[in-house]
Amino acid sequence: MTGTFRSTRDFIIRTDAWEAATAFYGSILGFPVVHESETIIGFETGAFRLYVEKGDAHGPVFELLVQDVQAAKLKLLAAGCKLQEENPSVPRCYIQDPYGVAFNIGQARSEK
C-alpha cells in the first residue's frame, strides 16, 4: 500500500462504563476476547477488532499507522485537524479530522 497512512482493522471506544460495555460486547453480542489487560479489552467481531478502553468517554476512534507519528501529527494539524490527546511514550496521538472523525495515529512496525 502506498502513502503515508495505513489503516488497521482496529476500532477503539473509551468509556467510563467499562464493565458494562465489556459485558455487553462479550456476553450479549458474544464477541470473543482476543486481548485483555487492566485497561483495555479487544474483541474479534469478524470485519474489525473492537477495543474497549477504560477512561473518560469519547466517540469511536479508527486506527491509522505511520512511520513517524510526530511528522504525521504536524501534517494533520496543518491540514485543519485537531489534537485530542497525545502520548509520546507509546507513541500515539488521537486526532480529529475537520469532519469530526477521530483517528489514533500510531507507530507502524518496521518492515523487515
For residue 77, what are the β-bridge partners?
none
Regarding pTM above 0.85, the answer is no
pLDDT at res. 111: 60
Per-residue model confidence as pLDDT tens digits over 25-49: 999 999 999 999 999 999 999 999 9
pLDDT at res. 14: 93
Sequence-distant (6+) residues with CB within 8 A of 44 are 31, 32, 34
Cα torsion for 30, 59, 12, 106, to the nearest 10°? 170
**Residue ranges of the domains in the chain?**
11-55, 57-112
Tell me, yes or no, if the two domains 11-55 and 57-112 fold the same way: no
Give the C-alpha separation, 54 to 60, whole Å: 13
Length of the chain, please? 112
pLDDT at res. 112: 53
pLDDT at res. 3: 59
Per-residue model confidence as pLDDT tens digits over 71-86: 999 999 999 999 999 9
Fold topology of 11-55? 3.30.720
Has domain 57-112 been given CATH number 3.40.30.10? no
